[in-house]
Amino acid sequence: MIIIINIVSMFMQTFDSFAPVMWLLDTIEAVTLVLFCTEYVLRIWTADLLYPELSPAKARLRFLVSFDGIIDLCTILPFFYLSGFIAFRMLRVGRIFHLFRINSVYDSFNIITTVLLEKKNQILSSLFMVLILMFASSLGMYSAEHEAQPEAFSNAFSGIWWSVSTLLTVGYGDIYPVTIVGRIMAICIAFLGVGVVAIPTGIISAGFVEQYSRRSHSDVKLHDISEVGEILIEEGSEFLGRSIVELKSDYDMQIFILLRSGLTVIPTDDIITKEHDILIVNSEKICKKNAKKKSRG
Protein backbone atom coordinates (compact mmCIF):
# COMPACT_ATOMS: atom_id res chain seq x y z
CA MET A 1 0.00 0.00 0.00
CA ILE A 2 2.85 2.39 0.83
CA ILE A 3 4.43 1.70 -2.55
CA ILE A 4 1.18 2.50 -4.35
CA ILE A 5 0.67 5.70 -2.31
CA ASN A 6 4.20 6.84 -3.16
CA ILE A 7 3.76 6.17 -6.88
CA VAL A 8 0.35 7.89 -6.98
CA SER A 9 1.75 10.98 -5.25
CA MET A 10 4.64 11.04 -7.71
CA PHE A 11 2.19 11.04 -10.63
CA MET A 12 0.01 13.72 -9.06
CA GLN A 13 3.02 16.02 -8.63
CA THR A 14 3.30 16.25 -12.41
CA PHE A 15 -0.15 17.93 -12.72
CA ASP A 16 -0.31 21.71 -12.45
CA SER A 17 -3.90 21.47 -11.22
CA PHE A 18 -2.63 19.95 -7.96
CA ALA A 19 -0.39 22.94 -7.20
CA PRO A 20 -2.54 24.06 -4.19
CA VAL A 21 -1.99 20.72 -2.45
CA MET A 22 1.58 20.24 -3.60
CA TRP A 23 2.77 20.64 0.01
CA LEU A 24 0.64 17.64 0.96
CA LEU A 25 2.04 15.56 -1.89
CA ASP A 26 5.59 16.50 -0.90
CA THR A 27 4.83 15.49 2.69
CA ILE A 28 3.42 12.15 1.57
CA GLU A 29 6.47 11.54 -0.57
CA ALA A 30 8.81 12.42 2.29
CA VAL A 31 7.03 10.15 4.77
CA THR A 32 6.90 7.19 2.41
CA LEU A 33 10.55 7.64 1.48
CA VAL A 34 11.50 7.66 5.16
CA LEU A 35 9.73 4.32 5.45
CA PHE A 36 11.58 3.07 2.36
CA CYS A 37 14.90 4.16 3.89
CA THR A 38 14.08 2.42 7.16
CA GLU A 39 13.15 -0.73 5.28
CA TYR A 40 16.35 -0.53 3.21
CA VAL A 41 18.53 -0.29 6.31
CA LEU A 42 16.70 -3.16 8.01
CA ARG A 43 16.97 -5.34 4.91
CA ILE A 44 20.72 -4.74 4.84
CA TRP A 45 20.97 -5.48 8.55
CA THR A 46 19.03 -8.76 8.26
CA ALA A 47 20.56 -9.90 4.97
CA ASP A 48 22.32 -12.77 6.77
CA LEU A 49 18.87 -14.25 7.43
CA LEU A 50 17.99 -14.01 3.76
CA TYR A 51 21.25 -15.69 2.73
CA PRO A 52 22.08 -17.98 5.69
CA GLU A 53 24.71 -19.89 3.71
CA LEU A 54 26.87 -16.73 3.47
CA SER A 55 28.79 -14.81 6.09
CA PRO A 56 27.10 -11.60 7.35
CA ALA A 57 29.39 -9.34 5.29
CA LYS A 58 28.94 -11.36 2.09
CA ALA A 59 25.19 -11.62 2.66
CA ARG A 60 24.87 -7.84 2.94
CA LEU A 61 26.96 -7.37 -0.19
CA ARG A 62 24.80 -9.95 -1.97
CA PHE A 63 21.67 -8.00 -1.09
CA LEU A 64 23.17 -4.68 -2.19
CA VAL A 65 23.82 -6.01 -5.71
CA SER A 66 20.54 -7.96 -5.93
CA PHE A 67 17.51 -6.76 -7.89
CA ASP A 68 15.63 -5.67 -4.76
CA GLY A 69 18.67 -3.91 -3.35
CA ILE A 70 19.34 -1.92 -6.53
CA ILE A 71 15.67 -0.93 -6.88
CA ASP A 72 15.55 0.18 -3.24
CA LEU A 73 18.66 2.28 -3.73
CA CYS A 74 17.34 3.88 -6.93
CA THR A 75 14.15 4.72 -5.06
CA ILE A 76 15.76 6.69 -2.25
CA LEU A 77 18.69 8.29 -4.09
CA PRO A 78 16.70 11.12 -5.76
CA PHE A 79 15.40 12.23 -2.35
CA PHE A 80 18.88 12.86 -0.96
CA TYR A 81 20.52 14.42 -4.05
CA LEU A 82 19.73 17.64 -5.81
CA SER A 83 16.56 17.24 -7.83
CA GLY A 84 17.90 19.54 -10.52
CA PHE A 85 19.95 16.76 -12.07
CA ILE A 86 17.97 14.99 -14.77
CA ALA A 87 19.70 11.68 -14.08
CA PHE A 88 18.53 11.63 -10.47
CA ARG A 89 15.01 12.74 -11.42
CA MET A 90 14.81 9.84 -13.84
CA LEU A 91 15.72 7.45 -11.04
CA ARG A 92 12.32 8.16 -9.52
CA VAL A 93 10.87 5.91 -12.20
CA GLY A 94 12.56 3.06 -10.34
CA ARG A 95 9.90 3.28 -7.66
CA ILE A 96 7.47 1.62 -10.04
CA PHE A 97 9.60 -1.53 -9.90
CA HIS A 98 8.65 -1.82 -6.23
CA LEU A 99 5.36 -3.21 -7.53
CA PHE A 100 7.20 -6.44 -8.35
CA ARG A 101 7.13 -7.15 -4.62
CA ILE A 102 3.45 -7.93 -5.06
CA ASN A 103 4.82 -10.97 -6.89
CA SER A 104 5.18 -12.76 -3.57
CA VAL A 105 1.59 -11.99 -2.52
CA TYR A 106 -0.59 -12.41 -5.60
CA ASP A 107 -0.59 -15.62 -7.60
CA SER A 108 -1.23 -13.91 -10.95
CA PHE A 109 2.16 -12.21 -10.92
CA ASN A 110 3.84 -15.53 -10.14
CA ILE A 111 2.15 -17.06 -13.16
CA ILE A 112 3.40 -14.26 -15.41
CA THR A 113 6.96 -14.74 -14.18
CA THR A 114 6.75 -18.52 -14.56
CA VAL A 115 5.39 -18.32 -18.10
CA LEU A 116 8.10 -15.88 -19.22
CA LEU A 117 10.84 -18.05 -17.72
CA GLU A 118 9.50 -21.30 -19.15
CA LYS A 119 8.91 -19.86 -22.62
CA LYS A 120 11.99 -17.65 -22.77
CA ASN A 121 13.71 -19.69 -25.50
CA GLN A 122 10.65 -19.63 -27.75
CA ILE A 123 10.08 -15.93 -27.10
CA LEU A 124 13.72 -15.10 -27.85
CA SER A 125 13.53 -17.11 -31.07
CA SER A 126 10.43 -15.24 -32.21
CA LEU A 127 11.99 -11.88 -31.30
CA PHE A 128 15.07 -12.87 -33.29
CA MET A 129 12.80 -13.47 -36.30
CA VAL A 130 11.28 -10.02 -35.82
CA LEU A 131 14.78 -8.50 -35.66
CA ILE A 132 15.87 -10.21 -38.89
CA LEU A 133 12.70 -9.13 -40.69
CA MET A 134 13.12 -5.59 -39.38
CA PHE A 135 16.65 -5.22 -40.74
CA ALA A 136 15.75 -6.92 -44.04
CA SER A 137 12.78 -4.61 -44.57
CA SER A 138 14.90 -1.59 -43.67
CA LEU A 139 17.52 -2.48 -46.29
CA GLY A 140 14.89 -3.28 -48.90
CA MET A 141 13.00 -0.04 -48.34
CA TYR A 142 16.22 1.97 -48.49
CA SER A 143 17.05 0.44 -51.86
CA ALA A 144 13.56 1.17 -53.20
CA GLU A 145 13.02 4.67 -51.76
CA HIS A 146 16.44 6.29 -51.44
CA GLU A 147 16.42 7.94 -54.84
CA ALA A 148 12.81 9.14 -54.53
CA GLN A 149 13.13 10.29 -50.88
CA PRO A 150 16.80 10.91 -50.05
CA GLU A 151 15.90 12.86 -46.91
CA ALA A 152 13.45 10.32 -45.47
CA PHE A 153 15.58 7.29 -46.39
CA SER A 154 19.09 8.73 -46.24
CA ASN A 155 20.69 5.39 -45.25
CA ALA A 156 19.75 1.84 -44.35
CA PHE A 157 19.45 2.67 -40.66
CA SER A 158 16.92 5.43 -41.33
CA GLY A 159 14.46 2.78 -42.55
CA ILE A 160 14.45 0.99 -39.20
CA TRP A 161 11.96 3.46 -37.72
CA TRP A 162 9.62 2.82 -40.63
CA SER A 163 10.08 -0.95 -40.44
CA VAL A 164 9.41 -1.05 -36.69
CA SER A 165 6.22 1.01 -36.95
CA THR A 166 5.06 -1.13 -39.88
CA LEU A 167 5.94 -4.55 -38.46
CA LEU A 168 4.26 -3.70 -35.16
CA THR A 169 1.18 -2.52 -37.11
CA VAL A 170 1.38 0.98 -35.61
CA GLY A 171 1.97 2.93 -38.83
CA TYR A 172 2.60 6.48 -37.64
CA GLY A 173 2.68 7.76 -41.22
CA ASP A 174 5.58 10.18 -40.77
CA ILE A 175 7.70 8.10 -43.18
CA TYR A 176 6.03 6.16 -45.98
CA PRO A 177 6.96 4.81 -49.43
CA VAL A 178 6.03 6.74 -52.57
CA THR A 179 7.35 4.47 -55.32
CA ILE A 180 5.45 1.50 -56.74
CA VAL A 181 8.16 -0.98 -55.69
CA GLY A 182 8.30 0.53 -52.21
CA ARG A 183 4.54 0.32 -51.75
CA ILE A 184 4.44 -3.31 -52.90
CA MET A 185 7.22 -4.10 -50.40
CA ALA A 186 5.32 -2.22 -47.69
CA ILE A 187 2.20 -4.33 -48.32
CA CYS A 188 4.18 -7.57 -48.02
CA ILE A 189 6.02 -6.39 -44.93
CA ALA A 190 2.78 -5.29 -43.27
CA PHE A 191 1.24 -8.74 -43.80
CA LEU A 192 4.40 -10.42 -42.51
CA GLY A 193 4.37 -8.12 -39.50
CA VAL A 194 0.90 -9.27 -38.48
CA GLY A 195 2.02 -12.91 -38.55
CA VAL A 196 5.38 -12.38 -36.88
CA VAL A 197 4.00 -10.30 -34.02
CA ALA A 198 1.33 -12.94 -33.43
CA ILE A 199 3.99 -15.63 -32.79
CA PRO A 200 5.21 -14.42 -29.35
CA THR A 201 1.61 -13.58 -28.43
CA GLY A 202 0.58 -17.17 -29.16
CA ILE A 203 3.55 -18.55 -27.23
CA ILE A 204 2.72 -16.51 -24.13
CA SER A 205 -1.00 -17.34 -24.40
CA ALA A 206 -0.23 -21.05 -24.63
CA GLY A 207 2.03 -20.71 -21.59
CA PHE A 208 -0.77 -19.13 -19.57
CA VAL A 209 -3.15 -21.93 -20.55
CA GLU A 210 -0.60 -24.57 -19.50
CA GLN A 211 0.06 -22.89 -16.16
CA TYR A 212 -3.61 -22.51 -15.27
CA SER A 213 -4.24 -26.10 -16.34
CA ARG A 214 -1.45 -27.36 -14.10
CA ARG A 215 -2.64 -25.35 -11.13
CA SER A 216 -6.26 -26.42 -11.58
CA HIS A 217 -5.25 -30.09 -11.59
CA SER A 218 -2.86 -29.69 -8.68
CA ASP A 219 -5.36 -27.81 -6.50
CA VAL A 220 -6.23 -30.85 -4.37
CA LYS A 221 -7.09 -30.65 -0.68
CA LEU A 222 -5.31 -32.96 1.76
CA HIS A 223 -8.51 -34.75 2.72
CA ASP A 224 -9.05 -35.67 -0.93
CA ILE A 225 -5.93 -37.84 -1.08
CA SER A 226 -6.35 -39.97 2.01
CA GLU A 227 -6.39 -43.08 -0.18
CA VAL A 228 -3.87 -43.04 -3.00
CA GLY A 229 -2.91 -45.88 -5.26
CA GLU A 230 -1.20 -46.56 -8.55
CA ILE A 231 -2.50 -48.50 -11.51
CA LEU A 232 -0.14 -50.12 -14.00
CA ILE A 233 -1.91 -50.47 -17.34
CA GLU A 234 -0.90 -53.70 -19.04
CA GLU A 235 -2.10 -55.63 -22.06
CA GLY A 236 -5.66 -56.83 -21.49
CA SER A 237 -6.26 -54.36 -18.69
CA GLU A 238 -9.76 -52.93 -18.36
CA PHE A 239 -8.18 -49.45 -18.23
CA LEU A 240 -6.27 -49.80 -21.52
CA GLY A 241 -7.43 -47.58 -24.37
CA ARG A 242 -9.85 -45.63 -22.21
CA SER A 243 -9.95 -41.86 -21.96
CA ILE A 244 -9.32 -40.12 -18.66
CA VAL A 245 -12.85 -38.75 -18.52
CA GLU A 246 -14.26 -42.27 -18.99
CA LEU A 247 -12.14 -43.67 -16.17
CA LYS A 248 -13.20 -40.86 -13.84
CA SER A 249 -16.86 -41.47 -14.63
CA ASP A 250 -16.92 -45.29 -14.69
CA TYR A 251 -14.73 -45.93 -11.66
CA ASP A 252 -15.50 -42.85 -9.55
CA MET A 253 -11.81 -41.98 -9.24
CA GLN A 254 -9.62 -38.92 -9.19
CA ILE A 255 -6.57 -39.17 -11.42
CA PHE A 256 -3.76 -36.97 -10.18
CA ILE A 257 -0.80 -37.93 -12.37
CA LEU A 258 -0.20 -40.00 -15.49
CA LEU A 259 3.31 -41.45 -15.82
CA ARG A 260 4.20 -42.34 -19.40
CA SER A 261 7.67 -43.36 -20.65
CA GLY A 262 9.35 -41.69 -17.72
CA LEU A 263 7.42 -38.44 -18.19
CA THR A 264 4.83 -36.87 -15.91
CA VAL A 265 1.75 -35.99 -17.96
CA ILE A 266 -1.15 -33.80 -16.87
CA PRO A 267 -4.21 -36.12 -17.03
CA THR A 268 -6.53 -34.02 -19.17
CA ASP A 269 -9.90 -35.54 -20.05
CA ASP A 270 -9.09 -36.30 -23.70
CA ILE A 271 -5.92 -38.35 -23.06
CA ILE A 272 -6.20 -42.05 -24.03
CA THR A 273 -4.36 -44.54 -21.84
CA LYS A 274 -1.63 -46.69 -23.35
CA GLU A 275 0.15 -49.86 -22.36
CA HIS A 276 2.72 -49.43 -19.55
CA ASP A 277 1.11 -46.18 -18.37
CA ILE A 278 0.94 -45.66 -14.62
CA LEU A 279 -2.00 -43.81 -13.10
CA ILE A 280 -1.75 -42.21 -9.66
CA VAL A 281 -5.35 -42.21 -8.49
CA ASN A 282 -7.61 -41.66 -5.50
CA SER A 283 -10.41 -44.21 -5.36
CA GLU A 284 -11.30 -46.29 -2.34
CA LYS A 285 -12.50 -49.15 -4.53
CA ILE A 286 -9.39 -49.19 -6.70
CA CYS A 287 -7.01 -48.82 -3.77
CA LYS A 288 -8.60 -51.72 -1.90
CA LYS A 289 -8.44 -53.83 -5.04
CA ASN A 290 -4.73 -53.12 -5.49
CA ALA A 291 -4.08 -53.78 -1.82
CA LYS A 292 -5.68 -57.24 -2.12
CA LYS A 293 -3.55 -58.05 -5.16
CA LYS A 294 -0.37 -57.07 -3.29
CA SER A 295 -1.34 -59.14 -0.24
CA ARG A 296 -1.98 -62.21 -2.42
CA GLY A 297 1.33 -61.70 -4.20
* Per-residue pLDDT tens digits for 82-124: 454 445 555 556 566 666 655 555 556 667 777 888 888 888 8
Write the Ramachandran bin of 236: left for phi over 0, alpha for psi from -120 to 50, otherwise beta: left
Q: Which of 4-18, 84-98, 179-193 has the lowest mean pLDDT?
A: 84-98
Sketch the domain layout of the chain as residue ranges. Answer: 2-103, 120-216, 224-296
Hey, which bits of the chain come out as E strands? 229-232, 254-260, 263-265, 278-282
List Cβ<8 Å contacts ≥24 apart for 209-217.
210/115, 211/111, 211/114, 211/115, 212/111, 213/266, 213/268, 214/266, 215/111, 217/256, 217/266, 217/267
Q: Determine which of 4-8, 130-134, 170-174, 291-295 has the lowest per-residue pLDDT on average.
A: 291-295
Is the pLDDT at 234 greater than 70? The verdict is yes
pLDDT computed for residue 109 by the predictor: 64
Mean pLDDT of 9-29: 82
- pLDDT category at 131 given cuts 50, 70, 90 is confident
- Give the range with max mean pLDDT: 68-72, 196-200, 277-281: 277-281
Q: What is the mean pLDDT of residues 61-70?
A: 83
Fold (topology level) of 224-296 = Alpha-Beta Plaits (3.30.70)
What whole-number distance in Å separates Cα of residue 68 and Cα of residue 40? 10
pLDDT at residue 5 above 60? yes
The answer to whether the CB of 185 falls within 8 A of the CB of 140 is yes
What is the percent of the chain with per-residue pLDDT over 70, rounded to a whole number?
A: 78
For the beta carbon of residue 157, count every other beta carbon within 10 angstroms.
Answer: 12
Q: Is pLDDT above 60 for 46?
A: yes
219-233 pLDDT, tens digit each: 444 444 456 677 888
The arrangement of secondary structure in 120-216, i.e. its CATH architecture, is Orthogonal Bundle (1.10)
Question: For the chain, what is the mean pLDDT?
Answer: 77
At residue 26, the pLDDT reads: 81
Predicted confidence at residue 221, as pLDDT, reads 45
- pLDDT at site 188: 87
| HSE (side-chain half, CA atoms, 13 Å) at 127 | 7
